Amino acid sequence: MEQNTQYVVGVDLGGTKIATALLDQSGQVLRRTRFQTAELKTAEEVIDCLVRSVEEVRGDLPVAGVGVASPGAVDTERGIILNGTNLPGWAGIPLREEMKRRLGIPVQVVNDANAAAWGEYYAGAGQGSKTMVYITISTGIGSGIVLDGKLLLGSNGIAAELGHTMIGVDGPVCSCGRPGCWEAYASGTSIARIAEEAAAREASLMTNLAAQEGIPISAKHLFEAARQGDGTARQTVDEVTHYIALGLMNVVHTFNPDCIVIGGGVSRVGDDLFSPVRRKTVSLVMEPYRDTFRIVPASLGDDVGVVGAATLCFTMSENNQ
């Protein structure tokens, strides 16, 4: 990588779209573009589209590298997406080598939660922290860990599946098929399920709020009903924030982070979520850990994937290129 080059490109490869942005060294987005993936039929067409999106944002600027964030298991060392995307013919494609060959610049491929963790650490809510854990609570629970300024990838590049650490023996079955995962208690999907069950047992404002929108009860309805004083909702918020805090207790005891950043759709509830989660986590952890961490909302929003993937280019070692 050229030392004096100051632009990087980040690509967020989602299930339905490719979001690509050009950034400067501070993590500021300068240009962006977006493509839909629905029409793409083969891996070759997806790679064509990725390359085109990078060329579009870089123009004739000198770009130091491209980072691609992908859902699922990614072998960052070899630059291969192993599984977890619904793109056609995608598993095992040597994405990094193929893009590098066509673009003529270093490319790296990283799991999207890891990219997001790095983005929040480099340019978001985790800036200035030493050991940071990023948690995204949405359909599932994703996570990424930055230890002493370095993204923890693990020996196969698939570290930090905190959503699949267990918080309950014989608990509800998780999307991964195992019982009792943190995700099976505290993801957006699980929170909605728990709220739904509570509303089926007792009359609750949650039911009305969901009915007004003509959709099933979601975490948003739960927190809104609790805010308006609904007893069932309040009790349920107490329960689900306890589950979130249990997972965070494990995080604190394992990594001793100074900063925990929480993103994802559920985090948009704001202080009605963060206040009880902070209070419960502090009371759950062992005494020496009590004043060692802060829990803050993510700040990069939808840009987190591109910012993280792009700015990782400033730090990844040469032998990863």
Give contact residues for Zn ion (rule: CB under 5 A). Answer: 164, 174, 176, 178, 181
Distance between alpha carbon 271 and the CA centroid of its chain, in Å?
A: 20
Smaller CB distance to Zn ion: residue 33 or 175?
175
Q: Which is nearer to Zn ion, 175 or 256 (CB)?
A: 175
Shortest distance, CB of residue 81 to Zn ion, whole angstroms?
20
Cβ contact 178:164 at 8 Å: yes
Query: Among residues 174 and 309, whose Cβ is nearest to Zn ion?
Result: 174
Q: How far is the CB of 171 from Zn ion (least distance, A)?
A: 10
Q: In the complex, what is the shortest distance from the CB of residue 183 to Zn ion, in angstroms, rounded to a whole number?
A: 5
Beta carbon nearer to Zn ion, 50 or 191: 191
CB of 164 to Zn ion, least distance (A): 4
Give least dist CB 117 to Zn ion, A: 19
Closest listed residue to residue 74, CA positions, set 147, 18, 131, 13: 13
Q: Closer to Zn ion at the Cβ: 176 or 203?
A: 176
Q: Which of 54, 57, 86, 85 is nearest to 70 (CA)?
A: 85
**In Å, how far from its chain's centre is CA 61?**
29
Least CB distance to Zn ion at residue 252 (A): 20
Cβ(184)–Cβ(140) below 8 Å: no
Continuous segment of H or E residues that includes residue 106: none
Give the end-to-end CA distance of the chain in Å, rounded to a whole number.
Answer: 9
Q: What region, left, alpha or beta, does residue 125 occupy, with left being phi > 0 and alpha being psi -120 to 50 degrees?
A: alpha
Q: How far apart are CA 307 and CA 305, in angstroms?
A: 6
Nearer to Zn ion, 176 or 200 (CB): 176
Q: Which two tokens stand for residue 29?
A: 């987005």
Residue 69 β-bridge partners = 12, 110
